[in-house]
Chains A and B, each alone.
Chain A
Amino acid sequence: MIKLENISFDHCIKCTVCTIYCPVARVTHLYPGPKQSGPDTERLRIKNPQLLDISLKYCSNCKRCEIACPSDVKIADIIQTAKWRYSKKEFRIRDFMLSRTDLMGTFGTIFSPIVNFFTHLRIVKYFLDLVFQIPKGRTFPNYASMTFRKWFKEARKYQNKYLEKVVYFHGCYVNYNYPQLGKDVVKVLNALGKGVIITKEKCCGVPLIANGYIKKAQSHGRHNIGVLSRALPHEQARIVSASSSCSLALKHEYPNLLELDNTSIANNIAYITQYVLEEFEKGNIPNLKPLKYTVAYHSPCHLERMGNVAFTIELLRKIPGLTVKILHSECCGISGTYGFKNEYYAISQAVGSELFKIIEEANPDFVVTDCETCKWQIEMNTKYTVVHPISLLAEAIE
Chain B
Amino acid sequence: MKFDCIIIGGGISGLTAGIRCVKEGLHTAIISSGMSALHFSSGSIDVLGYINNKVVYKPFEALDTLTGTIAQHPYAKCGKALIVEALQFFKQECETQNVYLFDNENLNHFHVTALGTLKPTYFSQRSVFNEDVYNRFKSMKKIVIVNFEGYRDFHPQLAAAQLSKHALFANCEIIAKSIDMPQLQDLTRHPHEYRSIDIARIFENEENVYRIADAIRLAAEGADFVVIPAFMGIHNFNQIHNILQSRTRLLIYEIPTLPPSILGLRIDNALKSRFAQLGGVYIAGDKVVRAESSNDVVQAVYTANHPENPLVAKFYILSTGSFFSGGMISEFNNMYEPVFKLKLHYEPERNKWYSPQFFYSNSHPFLEYGVVTDENLRPYDSKNNIIQNVYCSGAILAHYNPIREGCGSGVAISTAYKAANQIISLYKLMR
The answer to whether B281 touches A70, judged by C-beta atoms less than 8 angstroms apart, is no
Q: Determine whether A267 belongs to the interface, using a CB cutoff of 8 Å to chain B.
A: yes
Tell which of B276, B307, B308, B325 touches A70, judged by Cβ atoms closer than 8 Å. B325
CB of A159 to closest CB in B, whole Å: 25
The answer to whether A267 touches B34, judged by C-beta atoms less than 8 angstroms apart, is no
The answer to whether B303 touches A307, judged by C-beta atoms less than 8 angstroms apart, is yes
| Bound form: Cα–Cα A106–B193 in Å | 47
The answer to whether A16 touches B260, judged by C-beta atoms less than 8 angstroms apart, is yes
Write out the residue numbers on chain B whose beta carbons fall within 8 Å of the beta carbon of A309: 283
Interface string of B17-43 (1 = CB under 8 A from A): 000000000000100011110011000
Q: Determine whether B338 belongs to the interface, using a CB cutoff of 8 Å to chain A.
A: no
The answer to whether B305 touches A20, judged by C-beta atoms less than 8 angstroms apart, is no
Q: Determine whether A153 belongs to the interface, using a CB cutoff of 8 Å to chain B.
A: no
Q: Determine whether A356 belongs to the interface, using a CB cutoff of 8 Å to chain B.
A: no
Write out the residue numbers on chain A whose beta carbons fall within 8 Å of the beta carbon of B36: 70
Write out the residue numbers on chain A whose beta carbons fall within 8 Å of the beta carbon of B281: 310, 313-314
Tell which of B2, B201, B260, B283 touches A15, judged by Cβ atoms closer than 8 Å. B260
Write out the residue numbers on chain A whose beta carbons fall within 8 Å of the beta carbon of B287: 72
CB-nearest residue of chain A relative to B153? A16
Q: A17-B39, A20-B197 are in contact. Are A29 and B188 (CB under 8 A)?
A: yes
A-facing residues in B267-296 (Cβ within 8 Å): 273, 276, 281, 283-287
Q: Interface stretch among A171-179, A186-194, A274-282, A363-371?
A: A274-282
Q: Determine whether B189 belongs to the interface, using a CB cutoff of 8 Å to chain A.
A: yes
Interface string of A313-357 (1 = CB under 8 A from B): 110000000000010110000000000000000000000000000
The answer to whether B285 touches A305, judged by C-beta atoms less than 8 angstroms apart, is yes
| Bound form: Cα–Cα A307–B189 in Å | 34
Q: A70-B36, A274-B309, A310-B281 are in contact. Are A20 and B265 (CB under 8 A)?
A: yes
The answer to whether A310 touches B283, judged by C-beta atoms less than 8 angstroms apart, is yes
| Bound form: Cα–Cα A17–B198 in Å | 12
| Bound form: Cα–Cα A311–B286 in Å | 13
| Bound form: Cα–Cα A20–B266 in Å | 12
Q: Determine whether A397 belongs to the interface, using a CB cutoff of 8 Å to chain B.
A: no
The answer to whether B286 touches A307, judged by C-beta atoms less than 8 angstroms apart, is yes
Q: Determine whether B430 belongs to the interface, using a CB cutoff of 8 Å to chain A.
A: no
A-facing residues in B189-203 (Cβ within 8 Å): 189-190, 193, 195, 197-198, 201
Interface string of B375-404 (1 = CB under 8 A from A): 000000000000000000000000000000
Write out the residue numbers on chain B whose beta carbons fall within 8 Å of the beta carbon of A30: 189
The answer to whether B260 touches A304, judged by C-beta atoms less than 8 angstroms apart, is no
Interface string of A229-268 (1 = CB under 8 A from B): 0000000000000000000000000000000000000010
CB of A347 to closest CB in B, whole Å: 14
Q: Determine whether B365 belongs to the interface, using a CB cutoff of 8 Å to chain A.
A: no
The answer to whether A70 touches B35, judged by C-beta atoms less than 8 angstroms apart, is yes
Q: Determine whether A100 belongs to the interface, using a CB cutoff of 8 Å to chain B.
A: no
| Bound form: Cα–Cα A94–B18 in Å | 48
> How many residues on the B side are at the interface (Cβ–Cβ under 8 A)?
38
Write out the residue numbers on chain A whose beta carbons fall within 8 Å of the beta carbon of B259: 15-17
Q: Determine whether A26 belongs to the interface, using a CB cutoff of 8 Å to chain B.
A: yes
Q: Determine whether B249 belongs to the interface, using a CB cutoff of 8 Å to chain A.
A: no
The answer to whether A17 touches B35, judged by C-beta atoms less than 8 angstroms apart, is yes
Write out the residue numbers on chain A whose beta carbons fall within 8 Å of the beta carbon of B33: 70, 72
B-facing residues in A264-298 (Cβ within 8 Å): 267, 274, 277-278, 281
Interface string of A161-180 (1 = CB under 8 A from B): 00000000000000000000
| Bound form: Cα–Cα A310–B276 in Å | 12
Q: Determine whether A21 belongs to the interface, using a CB cutoff of 8 Å to chain B.
A: yes
CB of A262 to closest CB in B, whole Å: 14
Q: Determine whether A66 belongs to the interface, using a CB cutoff of 8 Å to chain B.
A: yes
Write out the residue numbers on chain A whose beta carbons fall within 8 Å of the beta carbon of B265: 20
Write out the residue numbers on chain B whose beta carbons fall within 8 Å of the beta carbon of A304: 284-285
B-facing residues in A13-37 (Cβ within 8 Å): 15-17, 19-21, 26, 29-30, 32, 36
Tell which of B1, B34, B197 touches A19, judged by Cβ atoms closer than 8 Å. B197
The answer to whether A68 touches B34, judged by C-beta atoms less than 8 angstroms apart, is yes
Q: Determine whether A69 belongs to the interface, using a CB cutoff of 8 Å to chain B.
A: yes
The answer to whether B2 touches A66, judged by C-beta atoms less than 8 angstroms apart, is no
Write out the residue numbers on chain A whose beta carbons fall within 8 Å of the beta carbon of B303: 307
Interface string of B244-277 (1 = CB under 8 A from A): 0000000000000001100001000000010010
The answer to whether B1 touches A17, judged by C-beta atoms less than 8 angstroms apart, is no
The answer to whether B201 touches A26, judged by C-beta atoms less than 8 angstroms apart, is yes
CB-nearest residue of chain B relative to A354? B235
Q: Determine whether B158 belongs to the interface, using a CB cutoff of 8 Å to chain A.
A: no
| Bound form: Cα–Cα A16–B40 in Å | 10
| Bound form: Cα–Cα A308–B309 in Å | 11
CB-nearest residue of chain B relative to A32? B193
Write out the residue numbers on chain A whose beta carbons fall within 8 Å of the beta carbon of B187: 29
Interface residues of A (CB under 8 A from B): 15-17, 19-21, 26, 29-30, 32, 36, 55, 66-72, 267, 274, 277-278, 281, 304-311, 313-314, 326, 328-329
Q: Mind listing 23 A-B residue pairs with CB under 8 Å?
A: A15-B260, A16-B195, A17-B34, A17-B259, A19-B195, A20-B265, A32-B189, A32-B193, A36-B193, A67-B284, A68-B35, A70-B324, A267-B308, A304-B284, A305-B285, A306-B305, A307-B305, A307-B306, A308-B305, A310-B29, A326-B276, A328-B273, A329-B284
**Besides the known contacts A17-B35, A72-B34, A306-B305, 19 further A-B residue pairs in the complex with CB atoms under 8 A apart:** A15-B260, A16-B195, A19-B195, A20-B39, A32-B193, A36-B193, A66-B285, A67-B34, A67-B285, A68-B35, A71-B34, A72-B33, A274-B306, A278-B309, A305-B285, A307-B284, A307-B286, A307-B304, A326-B276
